Chains A and B, each alone.
Chain A
Amino acid sequence: MIPPLARLWQPAALVLAIMLLIALPFGLERYGIYILSLWAVTTIAAIGLNLTLGYAGQISLAQGAFVGIGAYTAAIMTSAGWPLLVALIVAIILCFAVGWLLGYPALRVQHHYLAFVTLAFSTLAFLVFRNEQWLTGGIYGIFGIPRPTIFGFSTRSAQAFYYVCLGALGAVSLMAWWLVRSPWGRAFTALRENPLRAQSLGIDTRRYTLMAFAIGSAIGGVSGVLYAPLVEFVDPTPFSLVLSLNLLLMVIVGGQGFFFGPFLGALIAVLLPEWLRFTKGYYLIIYALVVMLLLIWSPSGILGILDEALTRRKTRRASALRAAARPTLDEGRAP
């Protein structure tokens, strides 16, 4: 029934988007490339949160703290002369372990209680970043974080480092794509939809809840490891509760539980301040207002609304086909 062209448009759009992302830096100035890199880094953090929240259904207000842990790990280790790759591995292990521990409260409490526990963790992490001056440099932060040299190529230029971020985004996306299609991903969804039923089907909900937190947090750490050399400066301010709230709103706005939701949500969150630059400080007001209106319309986010509209169109087309076929089948009966 479906013509082959219609089935091809999705992969075609994906290839086009990837080509555009690779070609874009050639048409952009330094600042534009920086914004694009920031989008890639933010998207990685949002993908992690989407696994925890969108697929496994565990709300977390601590993703910003994990980005912070990753960023500080990278900053401290590369300043001490370690290569970024080692910092990346350390950050992944560290965030995975801390995320695993943070998952334990989720075994006991759900929903809004979980939101508050993770919120408390986020605030604690911020206090540590700010107060442990011997380690994190306190409010003055850490300056001059070097960008890495990969296979002998220096990534000091904005463009080169953009490709590092894009490559990391690609790798994380592939991993997440594989994960949500693996039995693990299905177990996550089962956990979200009906934990009791999942358990009765023999899914170890305990382990998968902890896993959902640990994996989501580790991906947040990856995002932080890239953030530090991107900005070349780390201080506590960007990793306050506001980042966690923003990441949560990104996932919600894009569409939680949709694979491309975080990409879209991060795009809006990173680009909106640039587009609304003429409104000066009002952009956050406008952003918050738009988010509220969107949530009132549909809490499933932009992709959720699109998905609904597509399904409705499909049903309408199908019923139109049925209606056209009906007179030949049973004439005269009222529809």
Chain B
Amino acid sequence: MASFMSLVIAGLATGAIYALIAIGFSLLWQTSQTINFAQGEFVMLPAFFVLAAINAGAPFWLAALIGLVISVIILGAMFKRLLVDPMLRHGVLPLAIATMALSIFLRESVKEFYSAEASPFPSFIPGTTIGFAGISVSLQHVGVVLVAIASVMALTALLDRTPIGRQMQACAQNPDVARILGIPVERMIMYTFLINGLLVGIASLLVSPIYLAKFSSGETLGLAAFIAAIVGGFNRIRGAIAGGFLLGIADNLAAAYVSTQYRGAVPLFLLIAVILLRPQGLFGKAEERTV
């Protein structure tokens, strides 16, 4: 039982990271119909900005800040301006395919220009384990969950409590009406891309100390985020959070109780089952089909 609880807590930590990535993913979908197949690579990349800054002599806190700022600029603003804007007129699928090419581009660039090996990554939180009621818990996992929850709460507060947040929601629900009401829709869409840039940056700072910074780590992270977003429900932030936690826990329990070899298969079966039985996701609302 004690090991079961430890596994669940470790699962919550992975799940919290998945949730952060999945939220950004579904935000982009809601406001601009962008399916970002490069989302996993977006999480892999900021860690290397930070490492580059550290190699240039910056202390860790400054490097982390630089990493976040660069990821907001490059993965937020430049991604939208250079790839999404010119591709959007071609439709959803061509844009999705373009982001697949982008994922290859980012992965190979890191491999060639930085390193093909996994690099250790410093952590804000010490990796010590504490015992609590017979359950051993890694402080790092607790810290990851806390940071992720704080980020999500800040985001929901922004979306629900501020005028900008409400305008962004209006754009997601009905861009035409939002435009008539005088909301600068283009700027709001840009904001969601910047938020996504920040979210993947935070996720990168949280995940890299645990799984190391490696050029290929985006593949699993991206897939996990897609699955979390779809399982939870593509059109709800709440769904992405629930999907992330569910997936993280299922992933960790499967590794311990099913088989480590087929650990990766459990989320996939979850995905196929949800898509076949409840395509709008466990917590999502059904979207009308376009003819």
Contacts and interface: CB of A to CB of B under 8 A. Distances in A.
Interface of A: 59, 104-105, 108-113, 115-117, 119-121, 123-124, 127, 130-131, 194, 196, 241, 245, 248-249, 252, 281-282, 284-285, 287-289, 291-292, 295-296, 299
Interface string B262-278: 10110010011001100
17 contacts: A105-B272, A108-B279, A112-B35, A113-B275, A113-B279, A116-B271, A117-B275, A119-B223, A123-B264, A127-B264, A248-B97, A281-B112, A292-B83, A295-B94, A296-B83, A296-B98, A299-B87
A108 B289 CA distance: 11
Nearest to B267: A120
B97 A120 contact: no
A124 B271 CA distance: 12
A289 B107 CA distance: 12
A65 B230 CA distance: 22
A108 to B, nearest CB: 6
B275 A299 contact: no
Given A117-B275, A292-B101, A112 B108 contact: no
B104 A284 contact: yes
B271 A117 contact: yes
B104 A112 contact: no
A116 B92 contact: no
Contact of B98 (A131, A245, A295): A295
B102 interface: yes
Contacts of B187: none
A123 B98 CA distance: 21
Contacts of B166: none
Contacts of B94: 252, 295, 299
Given A288-B104, A288-B105, A296-B83, 12 more contacts: A104-B276, A108-B276, A111-B93, A112-B96, A117-B271, A127-B265, A245-B100, A248-B97, A291-B101, A292-B105, A296-B87, A299-B94
Contacts of A194: 291
A105 B100 contact: no
Nearest to B90: A299
B162 interface: no
A299 B101 CA distance: 13
A295 B99 CA distance: 10
A115 B96 contact: yes
B42 interface: no
A199 to B, nearest CB: 11
B265 A295 contact: no
Contacts of B92: 111-112
A109 B275 contact: yes
A249 B276 contact: no
A111 B92 CA distance: 9
Interface in B246-275: 261-262, 264-265, 268, 271-272, 275
Interface string B59-86: 0000000000000000000000001001
A285 B268 CA distance: 29
Given A248-B100, A249-B97, A288-B102, A281 B108 contact: yes
A108 B275 contact: yes
Contact of A120 (B93, B111, B271): B271
